C-alpha cells in the first residue's frame, strides 16, 4: 500500500512540474563560470610548461656528432653548421665573395704598421676594420681576428685610444709577432662620443633583416668570416694556416659562433661571455623573462657552438668579478658540457676553461699563452 502511494505521488509531481510554464531565458551571473575559465588557464599553462620542458631537454640533446673518430666527428658537423647558419640568417642575401675596395696606411709605431681596410662582402656592404702588421716582418706571420665588445669599435681593441677592458690587445699582439685584423660591428660607442643616428639603430636594422630571413648577427658573422678569408688570400704576409680568433663580451659571442661556422679558424679564445644554456632555455618558463627570446629552441647553446669548434683548440675565460656575466657556477657547468666533446675524442687538453681575478675584461697573458701554443 505504501509503495503504491509513493508511485502515485511521484506521478502527480511530474504532472505538476510538466504543467508549469517554462522560463523565457535561462540566465546566471558571469561570475559563476569564472572557476571554469580559471581552470582552463591553468590547464593550458600546465600543457605549455610540459611542452617547453620537453623542448628544453630535446634542445640540450639535439647536437649529437659522431665520436667514432676525429675525422668522423668533423664530417658529422656539416648539418649542424647548416642549421646554425640558418638560425642566424647566415649567409645574408646578396652576399658576395670578399673584395678589398680600400686599404690605407694610417700610422706606424715601434712595433706595428696600422692600416684601415674596407672589404666588400655583400652588394655595397663592407666589412671595415683595423689591420695591424708587425714592423720589419721577415716572413709570414699568424693572424688573430680580434672582435670588440658591445658599444665598442676596432680602434679600442687595437689600442689606438685608451679602453681599459681590452688592455691594449692589438698592440700587445703585434709586439708578440701576430698580425691583427679587428673587424667592426654595427655599433655606436658612448665612450667615443658617437651620436645616435635616427632610424638607423642596430635594433631597427636587426628587425628589418629578419623580415628577409637574416639578422644583424648573421650579417656580422658573414663580415667577420668573409673579411678574414679575403685577407688570408690577398695579403701575402698572413700565414693562412695559422689564424686564430678572439673577442671580449659581444666579441666573445661572435668569436664562438664565427669559429663554429668557420673551419679555417685554427684556434678560438672566448672572453667575458659564457652562459649556462639550460638556464637560458628555462627562461621560456618565466613570464618576466620572455621579452627578447626569439625561437630559442631553434638555435644552439654555447656548449654546442664549442662542440662545432671541436676538435680545434678552444679557450674560455671569465673574470671572477665580472659585473655582466655573474653566474660563475652556471659558466662552470656550461664548460663541463663543452669539455665533454673533447674528452669523448680523447683530446681534452685542447679545451680549457679558466677564470681570472679581474672583471669584464681581457686577461691578455693567458690568451697569448693559448695562441702561442696553437698558432705556430
The predicted model gives 299-326 an average pLDDT of 97
State the chain's mean pLDDT as an integer: 94
Q: Would the pLDDT of 5 be above 70?
A: no
Confidence grade of residue 7 (pLDDT, cut at 50, 70, 90): low
Q: CA 376, CA 364: separation in Å to the nearest integer?
A: 18
Reduced DSSP (H G I as helix, E B as strand, rest coil) percent helix, strand, coil of the chain, to 5: 50, 20, 30
Terminal Cα-to-Cα distance of the chain (whole angstroms): 112
pLDDT tens per residue, range 222-231: 999 999 999 9
Which pLDDT does position 11 carry in this prediction?
Answer: 55
Confidence grade of residue 13 (pLDDT, cut at 50, 70, 90): low
Q: What is the DSSP letter of 122?
A: E
pLDDT tens per residue, range 188-240: 999 999 999 988 999 999 999 999 999 999 999 999 999 999 999 999 999 99
Q: Would the pLDDT of 21 be above 90?
A: no
Which pLDDT does position 53 carry in this prediction?
Answer: 96
Which pLDDT does position 287 carry in this prediction?
Answer: 83
Confidence grade of residue 14 (pLDDT, cut at 50, 70, 90): low
Distances from the Cα of 50 to the Cα of 62, 280, 282, 286, angstroms? 18, 17, 12, 13
pLDDT tens per residue, range 137-149: 999 999 999 999 9
Q: CA 270, CA 257: separation in Å to the nearest integer?
A: 10
Q: Would the pLDDT of 344 be above 90?
A: yes
Question: Domains of the chain: which residue ranges?
Answer: 62-374
Which pLDDT does position 205 carry in this prediction?
Answer: 96
Which pLDDT does position 173 carry in this prediction?
Answer: 98
Question: Across the strands, what pairs with 374?
Answer: none
Confidence grade of residue 1 (pLDDT, cut at 50, 70, 90): low
Q: For residues 248 and 271, is the Cβ–Cβ distance under 8 A? A: yes
Which pLDDT does position 288 carry in this prediction?
Answer: 82
Q: Which of the following CATH numbers is that of domain 62-374: 3.40.50.1980, 3.40.50.720, 3.40.50.1820, 3.40.30.10?
A: 3.40.50.1820
Which pLDDT does position 275 carry in this prediction?
Answer: 96
Provide the grid cell at 119: 672589404
Which pLDDT does position 294 carry in this prediction?
Answer: 75
Count other C-beta atoms under 10 Å from residue 103's C-beta: 14
By percentage, how much of the chain surpasses pLDDT 70? Answer: 95
The secondary structure element, H or E, covering residue 5 is helix 2-19
Q: Would the pLDDT of 100 be above 70?
A: yes
pLDDT tens per residue, range 77-90: 999 999 999 999 99
Provide the grid cell at 77: 658537423
Distances from the Cα of 299 to the Cα of 57, 159, 270, 351, angstroms? 13, 34, 19, 22
pLDDT tens per residue, range 261-312: 999 999 999 999 999 999 999 999 988 888 777 788 999 999 999 999 999 9
Query: Peptide bond preceding 133: is omega within 30 degrees of 0, i.e. cis?
Result: no
| Torsion angle, alpha carbons of 49, 50, 53, 54, to 10 | -150
Which pLDDT does position 88 carry in this prediction?
Answer: 97
Q: Would the pLDDT of 38 be above 90?
A: yes
Q: Would the pLDDT of 42 be above 90?
A: yes
Count other C-beta atoms under 10 Å from residue 322's C-beta: 22
Q: CA 230, CA 271: separation in Å to the nearest integer?
A: 25
Amino acid at each position: 500500500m505504501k509503495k503504491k502511494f509513493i508511485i502515485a505521488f511521484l506521478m502527480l509531481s511530474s504532472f505538476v512540474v510538466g504543467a508549469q510554464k517554462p522560463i523565457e531565458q535561462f540566465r546566471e551571473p558571469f561570475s559563476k563560470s569564472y572557476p571554469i575559465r580559471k581552470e582552463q588557464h591553468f590547464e593550458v599553462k600546465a600543457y605549455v610548461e610540459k611542452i617547453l620542458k620537453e623542448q628544453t631537454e630535446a634542445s640540450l640533446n639535439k647536437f649529437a656528432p659522431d665520436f667514432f673518430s676525429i675525422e668522423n666527428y668533423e664530417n658529422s658537423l656539416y648539418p649542424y653548421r647548416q642549421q646554425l647558419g640558418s638560425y642566424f640568417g647566415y649567409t645574408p642575401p646578396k652576399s658576395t665573395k670578399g673584395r678589398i675596395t680600400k686599404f690605407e696606411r694610417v700610422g706606424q709605431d715601434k712595433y706595428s704598421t696600422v692600416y684601415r681596410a674596407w672589404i666588400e662582402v655583400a652588394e655595397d656592404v663592407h666589412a671595415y676594420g683595423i689591420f695591424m702588421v708587425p714592423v720589419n716582418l721577415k716572413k709570414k706571420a699568424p693572424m688573430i681576428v680580434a672582435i670588440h665588445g658591445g658599444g665598442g669599435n676596432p680602434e679600442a681593441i687595437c689600442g689606438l685610444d685608451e679602453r681599459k677592458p681590452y688592455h691594449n690587445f692589438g698592440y700587445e699582439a703585434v709586439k708578440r709577432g701576430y698580425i691583427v685584423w679587428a673587424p667592426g660591428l654595427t655599433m655606436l660607442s658612448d665612450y667615443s662620443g658617437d651620436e645616435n643616428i635616427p632610424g638607423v639603430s642596430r635594433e631597427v636594422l636587426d628587425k628589418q633583416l629578419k623580415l628577409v630571413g637574416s639578422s644583424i648577427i648573421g650579417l656580422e658573422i658573414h663580415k667577420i668570416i668573409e673579411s678574414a678569408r679575403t685577407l688570408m688570400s690577398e695579403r701575402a704576409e698572413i700565414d693562412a694556416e695559422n689564424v686564430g680568433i678572439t673577442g671580449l663580451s659581444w666579441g666573445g659571442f661572435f668569436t664562438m659562433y664565427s669559429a663554429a661556422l668557420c673551419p679555417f679558424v685554427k684556434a678560438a679564445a672566448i672572453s667575458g661571455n659564457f652562459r649556462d644554456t639550460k638556464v637560458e632555455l628555462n627562461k621560456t618558463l618565466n613570464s618576466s623573462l620572455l621579452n627578447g627570446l626569439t625561437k630559442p629552441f631553434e638555435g644552439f647553446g654555447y656548449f654546442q657552438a664549442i662542440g662545432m669548434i671541436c676538435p680545434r683548440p678552444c679557450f674560455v675565460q671569465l673574470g671572477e668579478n665580472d659585473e655582466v656575466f655573474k653566474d660563475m657556477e652556471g659558466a662552470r657547468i656550461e664548460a663541463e658540457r663543452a669539455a665533454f666533446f673533447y674528452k669523448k675524442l680523447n683530446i681534452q687538453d685542447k679545451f680549457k676553461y679558466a677564470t681570472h681575478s679581474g672583471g669584464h675584461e681581457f686577461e691578455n697573458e693567458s690568451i697569448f699563452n693559448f695562441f702561442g701554443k696553437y698558432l705556430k
